[in-house]
Protein backbone atom coordinates (compact mmCIF):
# COMPACT_ATOMS: atom_id res chain seq x y z
CA UNK A 1 0.00 0.00 0.00
CA UNK A 2 1.60 3.27 -1.16
CA UNK A 3 -0.15 5.36 1.51
CA UNK A 4 -1.24 4.60 5.07
CA UNK A 5 -4.12 7.00 4.53
CA UNK A 6 -5.40 8.30 1.22
CA UNK A 7 -8.04 11.03 1.35
CA UNK A 8 -10.22 11.79 -1.67
CA UNK A 9 -12.15 15.05 -1.47
CA UNK A 10 -15.03 15.82 -3.81
CA UNK A 11 -14.72 19.04 -5.78
CA UNK A 12 -17.63 18.35 -8.09
CA UNK A 13 -19.65 21.37 -9.17
CA UNK A 14 -23.23 20.71 -10.21
CA UNK A 15 -25.52 23.29 -11.73
CA UNK A 16 -27.69 25.04 -9.10
CA UNK A 17 -30.20 24.41 -7.58
CA UNK A 18 -28.76 20.89 -7.35
CA UNK A 19 -26.77 20.48 -4.16
CA UNK A 20 -23.10 19.70 -4.70
CA UNK A 21 -19.84 19.67 -2.78
CA UNK A 22 -18.62 22.50 -4.96
CA UNK A 23 -15.39 23.13 -6.78
CA UNK A 24 -14.41 26.12 -4.65
CA UNK A 25 -15.10 24.48 -1.29
CA UNK A 26 -13.65 21.15 -2.42
CA UNK A 27 -10.44 22.72 -3.62
CA UNK A 28 -10.11 24.72 -0.40
CA UNK A 29 -10.49 21.49 1.56
CA UNK A 30 -7.85 19.77 -0.57
CA UNK A 31 -5.44 22.63 0.05
CA UNK A 32 -6.19 22.57 3.77
CA UNK A 33 -5.59 18.82 4.04
CA UNK A 34 -2.36 19.05 2.06
CA UNK A 35 -1.16 21.87 4.30
CA UNK A 36 -2.09 19.97 7.45
CA UNK A 37 -0.24 16.86 6.26
CA UNK A 38 2.80 18.93 5.29
CA UNK A 39 2.89 20.71 8.65
CA UNK A 40 2.97 17.34 10.39
CA UNK A 41 5.64 15.85 8.10
CA UNK A 42 3.21 13.23 6.81
CA UNK A 43 3.33 13.78 3.05
CA UNK A 44 5.34 10.61 2.34
CA UNK A 45 2.90 8.32 4.10
CA UNK A 46 -0.42 10.05 3.53
CA UNK A 47 -2.03 11.88 0.62
CA UNK A 48 -5.04 14.12 0.10
CA UNK A 49 -6.37 14.97 -3.33
CA UNK A 50 -9.36 16.09 -5.36
CA UNK A 51 -11.84 13.67 -6.83
CA UNK A 52 -15.16 13.72 -8.64
CA UNK A 53 -18.59 12.94 -7.25
CA UNK A 54 -18.53 10.46 -4.36
CA UNK A 55 -22.28 9.85 -4.58
CA UNK A 56 -22.98 11.55 -1.28
CA UNK A 57 -24.07 14.90 -2.71
CA UNK A 58 -26.89 15.51 -0.23
CA UNK A 59 -24.41 15.30 2.63
CA UNK A 60 -21.59 17.32 1.09
CA UNK A 61 -18.99 18.64 1.24
CA UNK A 62 -17.95 14.99 1.24
CA UNK A 63 -14.71 13.04 1.35
CA UNK A 64 -13.61 9.45 1.84
CA UNK A 65 -10.61 8.07 3.70
CA UNK A 66 -9.04 4.84 2.43
CA UNK A 67 -8.07 2.05 3.04
CA UNK A 68 -10.91 1.90 5.56
CA UNK A 69 -13.44 3.59 3.27
CA UNK A 70 -14.80 6.00 5.88
CA UNK A 71 -17.11 8.61 4.36
CA UNK A 72 -17.36 12.08 5.87
CA UNK A 73 -20.03 14.68 5.18
CA UNK A 74 -20.63 18.38 5.83
CA UNK A 75 -16.88 18.84 6.21
CA UNK A 76 -15.79 22.41 6.84
CA UNK A 77 -12.32 23.92 6.75
CA UNK A 78 -12.45 24.13 10.53
CA UNK A 79 -12.79 20.32 10.72
CA UNK A 80 -9.60 19.49 8.82
CA UNK A 81 -7.12 19.53 11.70
CA UNK A 82 -9.40 17.33 13.80
CA UNK A 83 -9.83 14.75 11.02
CA UNK A 84 -6.08 14.67 10.43
CA UNK A 85 -5.07 14.42 14.09
CA UNK A 86 -7.84 12.11 15.28
CA UNK A 87 -8.47 9.87 12.30
CA UNK A 88 -5.45 9.92 10.00
CA UNK A 89 -2.84 9.95 12.75
CA UNK A 90 -4.63 8.16 15.59
CA UNK A 91 -7.18 6.00 13.75
CA UNK A 92 -10.10 7.49 15.67
CA UNK A 93 -12.73 8.64 13.15
CA UNK A 94 -14.47 11.93 13.91
CA UNK A 95 -17.84 10.31 14.53
CA UNK A 96 -19.94 13.47 14.40
CA UNK A 97 -19.00 13.87 10.73
CA UNK A 98 -18.97 10.22 9.64
CA UNK A 99 -21.63 9.26 7.09
CA UNK A 100 -23.37 5.93 7.31
CA UNK A 101 -23.60 5.43 3.58
Write out the residues near a second copy by the rule CB under 8 A. Answer: 1-3, 6, 8, 30, 47, 49-55, 64, 66-69, 71, 101
Sign of CA dihedral 2, 87, 56, 34: negative
Of 64 and 80, nearer to a second copy (C-beta) is 64
Of 11 and 83, nearer to a second copy (C-beta) is 11
Please give the full DSSP string across 14-26, using - where no structure is assigned.
PPTTS----HHHH
Cβ at position 58, least distance to a second copy in Å:
14
Cβ at position 51, least distance to a second copy in Å:
4
Of 30 and 84, nearer to a second copy (C-beta) is 30
50: CB partners within 8 A, 6+ apart: 8, 9, 10, 11, 26, 27, 30
Amino acid sequence: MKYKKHVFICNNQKVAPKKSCGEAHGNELVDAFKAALAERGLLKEMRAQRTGCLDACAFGPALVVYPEGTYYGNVQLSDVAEIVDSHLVNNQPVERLVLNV
